[in-house]
Structure formats: structure tokens, C-alpha cells
Amino acid sequence: MIPVLDWRREAADPAGFAADLGAACRGPGFFLLSHHGLDETLIGAVFAAADRLFALPEAEKQALSILANPHNRGWAAQGTESLDETGGQVDRKEAFNIGLDLAPDDPRIAAGEPFRGVNVWPGLPGFRETCLAYYAAVHALGVALHRPIARDLGLAEGWFAPHFDAPMAILRLLHYPPASGTAGEIGAGAHTDYGSLTLLMTDGVGGLQVKPRGQDWMDVPHVPGAFVVNIGDCLMRWTNDIYVSTPHRVLPPKTRRRSLAFFLDPNPDTTVAALPGTGAAKYPPVTGADYLRSRLDATYAKDST
């Protein structure tokens, strides 16, 4: 069962909200977040911007290819990703990645810091401004969600904040075409996410499924306007496996499906090590950048160019 959590309780009943959030993070690893406060008009504008992007001619999108970008930004064509690292299925989707927006002369880029680079943008009026406004809003919400997470884990409420002030977070616009009927096709293969939290907004078209430990695949319910939030592998590792990163997949939809995924990874130089009070460490310390790179390297299809 995937619970629905009301974000308004964080102010009205912080202890109760943290307890329910902690139970979701230890159990299914997924929850729906309602009444989150993001502007519905802004959310609609990002979906509209994504529609305009994915409707561009192939050649225009190819000029923005993520395969030519060392900073995990740009357009991923259909057939270039395999999220299921064991099954060999190639994902039937296209995507566009937007990261922390930095100027070309930012000293972090000049210093060669990992995952620091400029975004690439299509020549669509208002696209950049709309997407960056949404990026900032969801980033703020994701950082705020780490406050009750910290309380649940017995940490100071602001413990996580310094690790997400300049994160490797990615806003990913996603488009899944309707199922073709070919046997064995998949929208997005079974996988766990790499970062700390993922905040997903969907258009209501079904297809997303999760597989909690010891259970079969189940559909993620749709609550209009709510975010689907899940724990990523980085936070599972940080909590020494107290929290659970749950496998999920996207089945080929009956009609086209669109979603906005915000992957909140920590700052690249953050050291991810077992949190205080979580017992003997099950994993060696690793920087956020090194961990993310190790996961991304396995994602893209071997025959991609």
C-alpha cells in the first residue's frame, strides 16, 4: 500500500508527519505527497513546454543530445537507455535533462568539478524560464522534505540542508509514446533511482508500477496534483539500509504518457557515509559525484553512439 501524505501536516503536526513519512520510507519506499503548494499553473506550463520540445524535428533534438554532453544534460533519444541493467530491454521513451543552471564562466566549471556544466536549451521562447522556475520550486520542496527525514532518523532538522545547496539534481522531462504492441517492449525498465529523493509529477496516464520487497508488481495510484515521491539508492546507502529504495518500472502506455521527474542528488563533494546512529556501516564512504557516475555509466545502451 502506497500512502498519501499531506504536506500541510509538516507545519500542523510535525511529529506525526515525520512518523508517517519514516514508515513510508522504511516500508514501500514510495509515497504520494498532496497539498505541496506548487503552483498548478507552473506545472501545466512545464508540461506544455515539454510537449513543444518533443514535437521538434529529430535533427533539432539531436543537436542537444545527452550522449555528446559530459554533464548529464540534454536530449535522450528513444532507444538509447536501458534502465533495467539485467534484462536487456531498451526503454521506449525520450527524455530531456536540465541541471543546476550555471553560467559558462562559473568557477566550478572552470575547475572541472564533476557534473558542473552549462545546460543546453532548445530555441523555444520561454522554455528555459519556465523549466528553471519549476526546477527551483521542486528543489526547495525536496530540500524541505529532508527536514522530517532528519527528525525521523534522530538527526538535527537541518542536517541535510548543506548537502543539497548546490546539488547534482536533474529535472527530466519524459515522453512515452503509445504502446506499439510489440512483444516484450517496456516504457522504462525495472530499476531503482540513484539519488536521495525523486519527486515525480505525472499527467495521470497509467503505467508506473512498483515492486515492494517480497511483493508482486503493483500500480501506483494517481492522485490529481500530487507528487509521487520515492527513496533513491543514495539515501538508502546514507541511512545504512534503514530506508528502502524500491524497484519500479513504466509499462508501455495505451496513450502517450508524459511526466516530470526531479532527481534530487546531493552536492558532488558530499561524502555519503552511514549516518550517525545507524549502526556499523554496510558500505564504504563515497562522494555523491562518484556514486552518481557509477550508476549513470550502466544506464545507456552499449550500442549507443
Mean of all residue pLDDT scores within the chain: 94
Model pLDDT for residues 246-266, shown as the tens digit of each residue: 999 999 999 999 999 999 999
Going from N- to C-terminal start, the domains of the chain cover: 17-296
- pLDDT score, position 301: 43
CB proximity list for 240: less than 8 A, separation 6 or greater: 274, 275, 278, 279, 281, 282, 283
- For residues 166-190, average pLDDT: 93
Q: How far apart are CA 189 and CA 141, in angstroms?
A: 27
Given a cut of 80, whether residue 122 has pLDDT beyond it is yes
- For residues 44-63, average pLDDT: 97
Strand order in the sheet with 94-98: 4-6, 30-34, 227-231, 197-202, 257-264, 170-176, 94-98, 74-76
- pLDDT score, position 303: 37
Q: How far apart are CA 104 and CA 215, in angstroms?
A: 48
> Which one, of 293, 258, 205, 222, lies nearest residue 93 by Cα?
258
> Buried b / exposed e across 153-169, counting CB within 10 Å, b at 16+?
bebeeebbeebbebbbb
- What's this model's pTM, rounded to 2 decimal places? 0.95
Exposed/middle/buried for residue 214 (C-beta within 10 Å: 0-12, 13-18, 19+): exposed
Could you please report the per-residue DSSP string of 186-209?
BSEEEE--SSSEEEEEE-S---EE
- For residues 221-229, average pLDDT: 96
What percent of the chain stands above pLDDT 70? 96
- pLDDT score, position 305: 26
- pLDDT score, position 304: 35
**Minimum mean pLDDT among 80-84, 117-121, 165-169, 226-230: which range?**
80-84
- pLDDT score, position 273: 97
Count of beta carbons in the 10 Å neighbourhood of residue 11? 8
Q: How confident is the model at residue 135 (pLDDT cuts 50, 70, 90)?
A: very high
- For residues 281-302, average pLDDT: 83
CATH number for 17-296 (one of 3.40.50.1390, 2.60.40.420, 2.60.120.330, 1.10.3720.10): it is 2.60.120.330
Model pLDDT for residues 2-14, shown as the tens digit of each residue: 999 999 999 999 9
